[in-house]
Amino acid sequence: MGIRIALAGNPNCGKTTMFNDLTGANQYVGNWPGVTVEKKEGKYTRDKDVIITDLPGVYSLSPYSPEEIVTRDYLLDGRPDVVINLVDATNLERNLYLTTQVLDLGLPVVIALNMMDLVKKNGDKIDVAQLSRKLGCPIVETSALKGTGMQDLLDTAIKAAKAGKPAASELRYDEKVEAALAEIAKVIEGGVPADTLRWYATKLFEGEERTIAGLKLSASDIATVDAIRERVETEEDDDAESIITSERYDSIVGLVSSAVKVSRKGMNTTQKVDRIVTNRWLGLPIFVVIMALVYYLAISVGTGVVTDWANDGISGDGWLYTGGAAYEEAVGEWEGDQANIEAYLAAAEEGGIDVEGVTAALEAEEPTAEDESAITAFESEAQAAGVVGMVEDEETGEVTEVNGVAFANALEAEEPDPTEFGLFIPGLTPVVSDAMTAVGAAPWLQSLVIDGIIAGVGAVIGFIPQMIILFLLLSVLEACGYMARVAFIMDRIFRKFGLSGKSFIPMLIASGCGVPAVMATKTIENEKDRRMTIMTTTMIPCGAKMPIIALVFGALAGGNTEATWWIAPMFYFLGVIAIIISGIMLKKTKMFAGEASPFVMELPQYHIPAIKTVLLATWERIRSYIVKAGTIIFLSTIVIWFLMNFGMYDGQFGLLDTEMDGYIQYSLMAGLGNGLAWIFAPLGFGNWESTVTSVTGLVAKENVVATVGILTSLGDVGEADPSMWSAFALMLGGSAPAIVAFCAFNLLCAPCFAAIGTIRRQMESAKWTWFAIGYMTVFGWVVGLMLYQFGGLITGELSFNLWTVVAGVCLVAILFQLFRPMPNYDKKNAKKLAAEGSAA
């Protein structure tokens, strides 16, 4: 058996940074048995026999929250070989409260006095030797952020584990309390391990029901303990739990005052920054600006060269690393030649020359000898007739003359080969296509792999560069301590609407993934607030929704990313606003009415993030995205391809002939889309393609982009322009209001299946789960309806219609619920009870 080390500490004390530094990538992440609290285990990088368990961050070992129960049970029942108690040296009084409880557990303990670099920077001094003597355990100075003291800490912990000597704290309480604990210890002596005798005596004195039930004491022993407790409570004129809490803090204050010397030089850096960042008036605007910048960088930078580079290589033709400018110029000339062909054909037709036969010949992929003859004959006939056409460029308005010479030159022009302009690496699509053709793979199999799997999964993976930028920036904000301030800022705002700042913590997590965000709601004690947070937190755009925003951004921007930079952050704040509006409306219903739960949170010192911590946090999020792309999205693309290539034609079900014009209209997917299209028609995307795109997004939000990628590869949309942005825009008829409504619905409606499953576990009720899914979907539909109907009226795309009236009614209903006074349900219940009493 290896050495088991438990890592315990307060939230925001640097525990995660230390864990990552000690274990690197050798980590296992899961859930504690029977509890949806994250469990992290890892092997020490320098000794694989040392297993480190990162316990949830807690302020005490009282059994009030799932995190506290998990930490307490593991230390008390799991009995690790040694506990490393991480203590924030800049806030000793707050952190040592947990330490005093850990020391009572009868385990070997090593204290990691973290952030000592900040203590020294502030000019403060800590007598580590005195602290170690009073607390009865070794203390090692560390800086998890800078990685200093890690080797010494682990060496000390391993030595303590091998010695097996429990911590021997010299901290003691008031004589009356100590006497009471000694009496209780005699009652339970022999019934509990000697090392934990003080722990159980303290808990029995506090009257903790969990401990009393676990020890299964006799009635006489319980009566004896009750008598001791009541005697001290009477003498101290306070309840036992408060007495112990006060005694702990009194002993801590006495210790800190003698061991710590604080240098007062005015405000430190953190306090100076917080005067601005957490300012009542500036805090929210600063947060808006920062998040707008984050999404602007992630989407604008990622949507340009980076994502195009990824898409070209994965699901495109390949990468041209050198000679790109010359190649683009050649492509432009070739496209101009093709325009000349079209223009000359139009001019010839106006001149009375029959062009139908030659048009078919020109469009033939493999022209026959007859096609070549037809083209030659047409050219001669047209030039003999002296046909001349004046063509106006639709974009520039420039008029040019198109004649037979231009037509002849255009016919001879061939599409430029990128390999002739520089270093070109073929993409995955042509490589796989050539390989499958070489081995004689069946056409349907080639279509499945190329048009289904590569096009779908490739479209999703192509957005990874954007995800990296987003998660990297968010990880920096979290690691430097800013995100903790955001929760504090939002608490002020949320509390006005009946919500707690605790509700914003899951929303911060939701920017990565909705699953852990829903799980994070367990820290909200108020059941009504917890359920309401579960119902709304996934409205925040998660990593899986980022590609949808990028898709919409590209479609609306049309290449002009500088002028439309605001589109990306707009959809992030749409989620925030939707949550606030939902919170206000739901709080005014009987199901959710009540006071918001209190919010207490440790604000860590600002510091420069450790590169390793930021990279590991980014990698964890990206890895989950990649895993989903390789599993759920992979399987989804196969299903989507099947639904698009199989269907009923001529009374028979089977694989459709892809060479047949309009074959996809007979597919199962088209049938599904046409059957549901009426639901989304009022939102501006009532065709079957956009409908099934939204439906597949319920399995996983990445499927929205994957479906568009498959549809594009099948050539059903976007034939004039192969880019995904243009294909998506054409799918929605090029309507900006429809594109915005599409994005709003897919961001605000029910989350993916994985998140829905988590909601079911957290709600512990099928009825509440369906209510949550129904609310989110209906709310998203209503928002999409209003955006399209009102946006269409403003742009002139729509005239006033029945659905405009429905959108207006929805808006009035929302405004009424937002601004009506908070109903007094307690008063109504009181009147009802009084009436029933009178009737009786």
pLDDT of residue 224: 92
Give the pairing of strands 646-649 and 652-655: antiparallel
CATH number at residue 183: 1.10.287.1770
Phi, psi of 82 (to 5 degrees): -160, 150
Compute the Cα dihedral for 601, 602, 606, 610 and give only its sign: negative
Work out how many domains the chain is built from and give that number: 3
Claim to verify: residue 105 and residue 242 sit in the same structural domain = no
**pLDDT digit string (tens) for 115-163?**
888 888 878 889 999 999 999 999 999 988 788 889 999 999 999 999 9
Contacts of 268-276 spanning 24+ positions with Cβ under 8 A: 268/122, 268/605, 269/606, 270/481, 270/605, 270/606, 273/606, 274/485, 274/603
List, in order, residues 6 or more apart from 408 with CB less than 8 Å away.
Answer: 379
Helix 802-819 to helix 766-795 angle, to the nearest 10 degrees? Answer: 120
Q: Does residue 371 fall inside a structural domain?
A: yes
**Which residue among 227, 246, 261 closes a domain?**
261
pLDDT of residue 833: 45
The two three-digit tokens of residue 364, written as one number: 């033939």
Rounded to whole angstroms, how far apart are CA atoms 151 and 144?
11
Claim to verify: residue 22 and residue 139 sit in the same structural domain = yes
**pLDDT digit string (tens) for 227-279?**
998 998 888 888 888 888 888 888 888 888 888 887 766 566 777 888 888 88
pLDDT of residue 390: 63
Residue 119's domain comprises 3-163
Task: Reply yes or no on whether the pLDDT at 620 is more than 90.
Answer: no
CATH number at residue 97: 3.40.50.300
For residue 387, the number of C-alpha atoms closer than 13 Å in the C-beta half-sphere is: 25
**Which residue among 133, 163, 193 closes a domain?**
163
* Cβ atoms of residues 84 and 8 within 8 Å: yes
Q: Does residue 777 fall inside a structural domain?
A: no
Compute the Cα dihedral for 517, 518, 521, 526 and give only its sign: positive
As separate numbers, helices (DSSP H) first and strands (DSSP E) second, the chain gives 39, 15
Claim to verify: residue 207 and residue 159 sit in the same structural domain = no
* Cβ atoms of residues 483 and 477 within 8 Å: yes
Most distant CA pair in the chain: distance in Å?
120
Region of poorest pLDDT, from 13-27, 406-420, 591-605, 710-724: 710-724
Q: Does residue 90 fall inside a structural domain?
A: yes
654/662: higher pLDDT? 654
Claim to verify: residue 151 and residue 31 sit in the same structural domain = yes
Q: How many CB atoms lie within 10 A of CB 124?
A: 18
Q: Does residue 622 fall inside a structural domain?
A: no
Give the DSSP H/E element, type plus range, for residue 391: strand 389-392
* Cβ atoms of residues 545 and 747 within 8 Å: yes
Q: How many CB atoms lie within 10 A of CB 127?
A: 13
Helix 15-23 to helix 150-163 angle, to the nearest 10 degrees? Answer: 80
Claim to verify: residue 157 and residue 182 sit in the same structural domain = no
The residues that bridge with 29 in the sheet, in sequence order, are 40
Residue 415 to residues 242, 329, 363, 769: CA-CA distances in angstroms?
82, 12, 14, 56
**Distance, first Cα to last Cα, the chain:** 71
Place of tokens 């367990």: 522
Q: How many CB atoms lie within 10 A of CB 656?
A: 20
Claim to verify: residue 415 and residue 363 sit in the same structural domain = yes
For the entire predicted model, the pTM comes to: 0.64
Q: Does residue 19 fall inside a structural domain?
A: yes
Claim to verify: residue 188 and residue 148 sit in the same structural domain = no
Rounded to whole angstroms, how far apart are CA atoms 794 and 788?
10
For residue 33, the number of C-alpha atoms closer than 13 Å in the C-beta half-sphere is: 3
Compute the Cα dihedral for 409, 411, 416, 420 and give only its sign: negative
Q: Does residue 395 fall inside a structural domain?
A: yes
Q: Is 352 left (phi over 0), alpha (psi -120 to 50) or beta?
A: left
Claim to verify: residue 67 and residue 151 sit in the same structural domain = yes
The two three-digit tokens of residue 154, written as one number: 């682990």
* Cβ atoms of residues 546 and 462 within 8 Å: no
Claim to verify: residue 229 and residue 115 sit in the same structural domain = no
* Cβ atoms of residues 118 and 146 within 8 Å: no
Claim to verify: residue 224 and residue 340 sit in the same structural domain = no
318/817: higher pLDDT? 817
**pLDDT digit string (tens) for 387-399?**
656 656 656 666 6
List, in order, residues 6 or more apart from 175 with CB less than 8 Å away.
Answer: none
Q: How many CB atoms lie within 10 A of CB 397?
A: 7
Q: Does residue 124 fall inside a structural domain?
A: yes
Q: Does residue 348 fall inside a structural domain?
A: yes
* DSSP-assigned letter for residue 435: H
Place of tokens 């420039």: 398
Mean pLDDT of the chain: 80
Rounded to whole angstroms, how far apart are CA atoms 22 and 16?
10
Amino acid at 183: E
List, in order, residues 6 or more apart from 778 with CB less than 8 Å away.
Answer: none
Rounded to the nearest 5 degrees, what angle is found at the Cα of 774, between the Cα atoms of 771 and 778? 140
Confidence at 721, pLDDT banded by 50, 70, 90: very low
Rounded to whole angstroms, how far apart are CA atoms 84 and 142?
12
Claim to verify: residue 37 and residue 134 sit in the same structural domain = yes
**Which residue among 163, 191, 213 closes a domain?**
163
pLDDT of residue 307: 63
Over residues 558-586, mean pLDDT: 75
Claim to verify: residue 212 and residue 150 sit in the same structural domain = no
Region of poorest pLDDT, from 10-24, 112-126, 278-292, 507-521: 507-521
381/768: higher pLDDT? 768
**pLDDT digit string (tens) for 293-344?**
887 787 666 555 566 666 666 666 777 777 778 888 888 888 777 777 777 7
Confidence at 805, pLDDT banded by 50, 70, 90: very high
**pLDDT digit string (tens) for 182-227?**
999 998 888 888 888 999 999 999 888 888 888 888 889 899 999 9
Rounded to whole angstroms, how far apart are CA atoms 718 and 309?
20
Task: Reply yes or no on whether the pLDDT at 811 is more than 70.
Answer: yes
* DSSP-assigned letter for residue 396: T
Q: In terms of Cα–Cα distance, which of 328, 311, 619, 361 is closest to 468? A: 619
